[in-house]
């Protein structure tokens, strides 16, 4: 169930608009942070994030996430209040009763609201819990023009790229490739999914692959970042000499636009979801969404290799089971939190260009065929009971009859032109009114025997 939340920054106020199946609400609230205060708290959050996965032991008594939790409580109290809160609670309860999932579709406009890590918002109904670990929080910018559907038919085609520049710290790309492949193979057959990993990691290799085949999923493992001078994100591939070659978000988006089959792109690269305060569509992920890609997953902070591996394995494992991408995201967050016990669960960010979250339908598993061992009695076959046979007397008209066999008593076996054999009990009429076979008709002895057997069942 969608809960759309638009937050527009106007001077020292935020205009919060929510649209739901149960109605709409608009509220004006004072900005909970000044620009300077927000920059300070964001710096504290980044420090807390680093401490959460740092092996260094300190004598600090306060919890690592204290500043983060206070920040999340402030966001929750400011935005989810008044009519917006009442609609949120109503939608959440309705989703629970319908046994479906609620998801928050968030669009922000403004220099401050655009850089806020909204995934740290605290659950208003469970103050000791972060909302994104229970309800998917999705960045869903308003786009001009129609968006393509995210759903595709199997087989799913997956293209993977692992960047290995010689002058940058090495990533555990081999393990990530193995984990992703394993996540798909555990649920899907080779006929359901095709996975291809590029042998090289240069721009020319990626461009040729994107332009040569229709792909549904693109996974990129690389270093990344945000360039404040250009105001845009980038990923690091290898140049012709093997050293790092930055690929701007603009160049990557232009290439992606040439493959309209793409439905999901995962940028397992640092700061690939980072936006500047200068305007919208500045991050690498946002530029890809603007090109019409239905779903993009990216990282808003630096992420450790360990957390990136756990996230990718869990996320694709859920996708392979046919779980909607927003629920797969939430469960992958939980996997990072419970495995690493760090705040990195909030680093991945999901962007959607539409409200559709189902990438593809997973086929039902084939029934298990039990092997019959020699010397063992064959499995019993279910025996039709008389009540099942009696239903044959109440069927649609048979149409012209191809064959008829007279049985004992008042039973007839009639083979209709529709391919159904019907056992019919003739009415008890006087001999003068009974239907008699035409001259020259001979009853089929085999048919008589079969009807006799059926009549025993009907008795």
Q: Where residue 190 falls among pLDDT bands split at 50, 70, 90? A: confident
Torsion of CA 55, 58, 60, 61, to 10 degrees: 80
207-261: pLDDT as tens digits? 999 999 999 999 999 998 888 888 788 999 999 999 999 999 999 999 999 999 9
User: Is the C-alpha dihedral spanning 390, 394, 396, 401 positive or negative?
Assistant: positive
22-65: pLDDT as tens digits? 999 999 999 999 999 999 999 999 999 999 988 654 545 456 78
The pLDDT of 412-438, averaged and rounded, is 59
pLDDT of residue 359: 76
> From the CA atom positions of the chain, what is the Rg in Å?
32
Residues in the chain, total: 459
Highest mean pLDDT: which range of 67-81, 184-198, 417-431: 67-81
The pLDDT of 423-431, averaged and rounded, is 57
Pairing verdict, β 103-109 and 137-139: parallel
**Strand 223-227's sheet: what is its strand order?**
223-227, 232-238, 244-248
Ranking 200-204, 211-215, 381-385 by mean pLDDT, the lowest is: 381-385
Please tell me the distance from the alpha carbon of residue 318 to that of residue 331, in angstroms, as a whole number. Answer: 8
Residue 382: strand, helix, or coil:
coil
Residue whose C-alpha is closest to residue 106's, from 330, 355, 293, 324: 355
- pTM: predicted TM-score of the whole model, two decimal places: 0.76
Q: Where residue 412 falls among pLDDT bands split at 50, 70, 90? A: confident
Higher pLDDT, 386 or 300: 300
Domains and CATH numbers, the chain: 2-135 (no CATH), 156-352 (3.40.50.1460), 386-458 (no CATH)
pLDDT of residue 446: 46
Ranking 195-204, 246-255, 337-346, 371-380 by mean pLDDT, the lowest is: 371-380
| % residues pLDDT > 70 (the chain) | 76
Helix (H) or strand (E) holding 370: none
Tokens of 124: 């208003």
For residue 325, pLDDT over 60 is answered with yes
pLDDT of residue 391: 37
pLDDT of residue 437: 46
- Non-local CB neighbours of 46 within 8 Å, separated by 6+ positions: 301
pLDDT of residue 400: 59
Q: Where residue 377 falls among pLDDT bands split at 50, 70, 90? A: low
pLDDT of residue 170: 87
The pLDDT of 117-133, averaged and rounded, is 94
Is the separation of the CB atoms in 103 and 134 below 8 Å?
no
Q: Where residue 453 falls among pLDDT bands split at 50, 70, 90? A: very low
Residue 184, judged by CB atoms within 10 A of its CB (0-12, 13-18, 19+), counts as: buried
pLDDT of residue 399: 52
Average pLDDT for the chain? 82
């Amino acid at each position: 169930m969608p809960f759309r939340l638009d937050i527009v920054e106007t001077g020292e106020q935020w205009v919060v608009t929510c649209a739901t199946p149960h109605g709409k609400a608009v509220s004006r609230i004072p900005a909970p942070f000044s620009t300077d205060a927000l920059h300070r708290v964001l710096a504290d959050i980044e420090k807390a994030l680093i401490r959460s996965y740092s092996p260094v032991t300190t004598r600090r008594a306060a919890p690592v996430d204290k500043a983060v939790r206070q920040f999340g409580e402030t966001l929750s109290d400011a935005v989810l209040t008044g009519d917006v809160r009442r609609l949120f609670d109503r939608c959440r309860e309705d989703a629970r009763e319908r046994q479906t999932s609620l998801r928050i579709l968030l669009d922000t406009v403004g220099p401050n609201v655009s850089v806020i890590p909204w995934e740290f918002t605290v659950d208003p109904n469970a103050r000791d819990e972060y909302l994104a670990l229970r309800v998917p929080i999705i960045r869903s910018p308003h786009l001009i023009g129609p968006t393509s559907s995210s759903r595709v038919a199997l087989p799913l085609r997956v293209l993977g790229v692992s960047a290995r520049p010689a002058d940058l710290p090495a990533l555990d790309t081999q393990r990530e490739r193995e984990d992703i492949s394993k996540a798909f193979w555990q649920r899907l057959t080779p006929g359901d999914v095709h996975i291809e990993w590029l042998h090289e990691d240069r721009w020319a290799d990626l461009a040729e692959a994107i332009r040569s085949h229709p792909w549904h999923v693109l996974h990129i493992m690389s270093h990344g970042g945000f360039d404040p001078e250009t105001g845009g994100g980038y990923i690091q591939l290898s140049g012709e000499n093997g050293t790092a070659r930055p690929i701007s978000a603009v160049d990557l988006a232009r290439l992606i636009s040439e493959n309209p089959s793409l439905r999901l792109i995962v940028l397992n690269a640092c700061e690939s979801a980072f936006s500047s305060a200068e305007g919208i569509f500045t991050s690498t992920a946002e530029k890809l969404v603007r090109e019409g890609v239905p779903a993009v997953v990216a990282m808003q902070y630096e992420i450790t290799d360990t957390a990136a591996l756990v996230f990718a394995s869990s996320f694709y494992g859920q996708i392979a089971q046919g779980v909607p991408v927003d629920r797969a995201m939430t469960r992958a967050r939980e996997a990072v939190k419970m495995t690493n016990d760090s705040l990195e669960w909030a680093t991945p960010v999901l962007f959607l260009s539409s409200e559709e979250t189902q990438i593809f339908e997973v086929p039902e598993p084939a029934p298990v065929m039990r092997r019959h061992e020699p010397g063992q009695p064959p499995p019993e076959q279910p025996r039709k009971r008389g009540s099942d046979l009696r239903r044959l007397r109440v069927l649609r008209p048979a149409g012209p009859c191809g064959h008829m066999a007279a049985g004992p008593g008042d039973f007839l076996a009639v083979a209709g032109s529709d391919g159904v054999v019907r056992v019919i009990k003739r009415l008890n009429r006087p001999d003068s009114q009974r239907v008699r076979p035409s001259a020259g008709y001979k009853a089929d002895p085999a048919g008589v025997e079969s009807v006799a057997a059926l009549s025993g069942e009907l008795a």
